[in-house]
Structure 1
Amino acid sequence: MADSLPDGAARDGGRTTPLSQLPVKGRVLCQGRIESITYVPADRTAAFSAIVSESEPGRRGPAAVRHPRLRVVWLGRRRVPGIEAGTELRLEGMLSQSQGLPTMFNPRYEILSRQENE
């Protein structure tokens, strides 16, 4: 997969930055769980986005909103295989701010685990 982290990236001792300590901009390596995904209508420019958080899976309500969050956007794609709500990822890319949230466009990623469907 072209977007995934290179072999050994997870084992190279690289430290992930907690979402609560992300800088305003710059290259970062971070980790979190997909909280939600957004699909755009077919008549709009292709983009697939997800909100990543450090909150525990299944946590709901006002307390969950206070957890740091990161928006991840894959431009030119309507879907990214393996990326769905509940998936835990390690992400690497350039960080910027967009609509009040730290945002990464077209990050490299590694799927760490997936939520089991019941």
Structure 2
Amino acid sequence: MGGTDGGAFRRMLRRLTSDVEVLDADDLSEGAQLSGARRAVECASGQEVTMLGRLRSVEFCPHDAEASLEAELFDGTDAVTLIWLGRRRIPGIEPGRTMRVHGRIAVREGRKVLYNPYYEICQAHTP
């Protein structure tokens, strides 16, 4: 068996023995990387980034000063919180959606955050 065949065999064996969540994270990470998007795990505060991932949660957060819509975007490597200030709802922004977002990374309470990111809702990737 050559080097290429052995690698394919190892990948196939891993897919058969790995947890579904691990495989989903691998697929998300690979899709983001192939699209040219920045991996969330590599992003740091102050960087302007374009990311691709899936929304894990979306919630309206009423605060005293200003309400916001917050969503968690996961790209297979790490999660980033998306925050749209002054919004209660945005059509199409719902858990399970695949999105491409663009903005400048900030850190709030130890979490990576994009405030009012530009976004594009993408077609879900099907294997």
Q: CA deviation at 1:44?
A: 6.5
Q: CA RMSD in A?
A: 2.3
Q: Is 1:87 the counterpart of 2:108 in the alignment?
A: no
Closer, same or farther in 2 for the Cα pair 1:42/1:71, shift >3 Å?
closer
Maintained 8 Å contact 2:82/2:114 = yes
CA drift of 1:19 comes to 1.2
The share of aligned pairs that are identical, in percent, is 30
Alignment partners' CA distance in 1, 2:45 and 2:67:
26
Structure index of larger Rg: 2
In structure 2, what residue type is equivalent to 1:99? E
Flag as ranges the 4+ runs of structure 1 deviating above 2 A.
Answer: 40-46
Is 1:71 matched up with 2:81? yes
Residue 111 of structure 1 pairs with residue 121 of structure 2: yes
Query: What letter corresponds to residue 117 of structure 2 in structure 1?
Result: P
Whole-angstrom distance in 1 between the partners of 2:63 and 2:42: 36
- Give me the TM-score of the superposition, normalised by structure 2: 0.64
Maintained 8 Å contact 2:62/2:68:
no
Greater relative contact order (CA < 8 Å, ≥ 6 in sequence): 1
Match of 1:30, as an amino acid?
M
Measured in 1, the distance between the counterparts of 2:38 and 2:47 equals: 12
Higher helix share: 2
Letter in 1 for 2:48: R
When the two structures are aligned, how many residues end up with a matched partner?
91
Report how far residue 42 of structure 1 moved. 8.5
Structure 1 runs not aligned, ≥5 long:
1-13, 56-66
